[in-house]
Amino acid sequence: MAENKNLSRRKFLINSSLAAATVPFLQSSCKQNVAATEETNSEESFEFAFLTDIHIKPEMNAPIGFQMAIDKVNELNPDFVITGGDLVYDAMRGNYEKSESLFNLYATMAKGFKMPVYNCLGNHDLFAIYEESPENEDHPDYKYGMWERHFGKSYYSFTHKGWHFITLNSLDVTPNKRYKSSFHQEQLQWLKNEIEQIDKATPIVITTHIPMICTYTQLNGGNSRVVDNAPEVFKLLENHNLKLVLQGHIHWKEFGMVNDRFHFLTGGSIAGNGWKGRRHNTREGFVKVKITGNDFTWEYVDHGWETERLKLATES
């Protein structure tokens, strides 16, 4: 990963008008001291929204659907938004101009959220990794570059009211130019250092695009749909207060508990089946999580896209 190059590009962008448009989404500026300075107050409560697999593109009325989700989130007014990756569709195959226009579309629309947004990287956000892309590995935006130029480092953490949130980058690229569901070693080393600084009682939420646990393959067969080295992350968190793993990618809605210890939640999707309707018969929507003390509750919020999509289809 050309991190230094990205940092220097980011420094440049901070002095540009484009940076002014993207600063609210730079997670690196949200990094806080991980030795939580705030005690978790058992009376404290807050909410956040988890929106995954947005797949923004100009076609298929996708901007109308995403705007409806933004409006619904603003109406609910959570403290912040976490996204679950696949912000755009799609940068893997595209040229620079097309991919950059998609990232700009997402960044411009996401400015409509009235609260901070913490983004996650998905496979469709990886720039120019597929053979069919006209760009190559030498491009400064290759792989994580375009995402990181817009949104900051692709793995990071922040603390909110005593809860610690860690967003992971669950993607890499194979030698034959396909995406690979894996936490790379540099990130695992960062995570190890990070976790060592977190109090063992601090509640932790992990966000990952590719699920770390998922029932999809058990139900449908086929290849694994989870991060291949997810157990390494679970091992690192073994003696900490992991509460919840937020996941995307499958456009699948599931919720489970492991050993009275932590939960996993795969949060459906905003885009459904490529903006054409439900995927896996799961309606388009997002997750609202309410934290109270050391516990949480959640609900899936339908922002009305299915009804609107059908209405638009009959009008056209």
Residue 151 — φ and ψ, nearest 5°? -120, -5
**Which residue, 157, 280, 293, 139, is CA-closest to 220?**
280
Contact window for Fe ion (CB under 5 A) among 53-61, 130-138, 144-152, 182-190: 53-61
Shortest spacing between CB 149 and Fe ion, in angstroms = 21
Which parts of 63-102 interact with Fe ion (CB under 5 A)?
86
Shortest spacing between CB 52 and Fe ion, in angstroms = 8
Pick the closer one to Fe ion by CB: 147 or 158.
147
Query: Is residue 125 within the footprint of Fe ion (CB under 5 A)?
Result: no
**CA pair distance 175, 252, nearest whole angstrom:** 29
What secondary structure does DSSP assign to 117-158, as a single string? EE----GGGSBT-STT-SS-TTSTTTBTHHHHHHHS-SSEEE
| 127 in Cβ contact with 147 (< 8 Å) | yes
Kind and range of the H or E run holding 242: strand 241-247
Pick the closer one to Fe ion by CB: 86 or 254.
86
Shortest spacing between CB 164 and Fe ion, in angstroms = 26
Pick the closer one to Fe ion by CB: 13 or 110.
110
Pick the closer one to Fe ion by CB: 149 or 249.
249
Shortest spacing between CB 86 and Fe ion, in angstroms = 4
Pick the closer one to Fe ion by CB: 117 or 191.
117
Pick the closer one to Fe ion by CB: 40 or 182.
182
Extract the tokens encoding 237: 């968190």
Query: SS3 for 266?
Result: strand
Which parts of 195-254 interact with Fe ion (CB under 5 A)?
none
**CA pair distance 127, 140, nearest whole angstrom:** 10
- Residue whose entry in the numeric block shows the structure tokens 């998609």: 102
Contact window for Fe ion (CB under 5 A) among 45-53, 110-118, 180-188, 216-224: 45-53
Extract the tokens encoding 206: 């992990």
Extract the tokens encoding 143: 């792989």
Shortest spacing between CB 305 and Fe ion, in angstroms = 15
Please work out the total of residues on this chain that contact Fe ion, with binding judged by CB under 5 A: 2
Shortest spacing between CB 55 and Fe ion, in angstroms = 6
Shortest spacing between CB 171 and Fe ion, in angstroms = 12
Residue 74: count of CB within 10 angstroms of its CB: 15
Contact window for Fe ion (CB under 5 A) among 37-45, 51-59, 158-166, 220-228: 51-59
**CA pair distance 95, 132, nearest whole angstrom:** 10
Q: Tell me which of 10, 50, 53, 169 binds Fe ion, using CB under 5 A.
A: 53
**Positions that interact with Fe ion (CB under 5 A):** 53, 86
